[in-house]
Amino acid sequence: MTGQLPPRDFDSLRAAIVEMRATLPKRLMQVASYALERPDDMAFGTTASIAQAAQVQPSTLVRFAQNFGFDGFSGLQQLFRERLKERNGSYEDRLRHLEAGGMAETEGVAILNGFVAAGHDSLDALADTIDAAALERAISILARAETIYLIARRRSFPIVTYMSYAFGKLKVPCRLVSTAIGNDDDLLAQATAADAAFAVSFSPYAAESAAQARALNERGIAVVGLTDSALSPLAASAEVWFELIESDHAGFRSLSASMALAMALTVGVAERRRQA
């Protein structure tokens, strides 16, 4: 025990983890990363299953809990369970509702309903947790940029691809950095302090995207980030960043909420530039 009072809710725990990120031992940081990226699994997993998923020993979970003032892991886990109780309608509830209504008539429809339910859950979470002030700051940063550099790879790539298409239609200058011809560094070398970047990366984080965002930040170029954890490498490089965890179905995560946020930024930037 550290003698400190334990966090009162998930948001308080998240803030405490972010504050201590530089001093947490490696194994405790592994637990912290897992806890912030998979809070639902933390709520109902067993000590053994969580330890295995986080790639630590079960005793490490106890040490992690005690590091934040809990008597043991069960007290910490209760905090994650309370978080779920406060949410409006879980993914499992939505899926059961669809099945009870006779919607899942075939395997294909059942799969579709699963992704629809996960999408609803992600969008509801986005609407409930979005920081309006941060959204306005992000729009302002991107709107005043001469050119917006769009950075993403792997699962995140569709987000910036569609933003590039939409910015083109809206006559907003942008450059899609993650190109097939591999000239990313050449493109980023052209960025100046008058420009800005929007970078996206979800766990497991793309090292290239994190490095590019960090390099731009070090050159005084503002970065807006979209990621899924306060411990993401993008968070340290971004002037404004958004934490968004998509719900999954059968282990596959959609981009429903991520696309909604990206398009809100895109249209918001175009409208701000039009008014200027």
Highest mean pLDDT among 49-53, 103-107, 130-134: 130-134
pLDDT of residue 88: 43
When the candidates are 1.10.10.10, 3.40.50.920, 3.40.1280.10, 3.30.43.10, the CATH number that belongs to 10-86 is: 1.10.10.10
Residues in the chain: 276
Q: How far is CA 240 from CA 21, 116, 132, 141, in A?
A: 18, 30, 12, 9
For the chain, percent of residues with pLDDT exceeding 70:
89
Annotation: CATH topology of 132-275:
Rossmann fold (3.40.50)
Q: Domain-by-domain residue ranges, the chain?
A: 10-86, 91-126, 132-275
Find the mean pLDDT for residues 100-129.
78
- Cα–Cα–Cα angle for 123, 129, 133, nearest 5°? 120
Which pLDDT value is given to residue 171? Answer: 95
Neighbours of 152 (CB within 10 A): 26
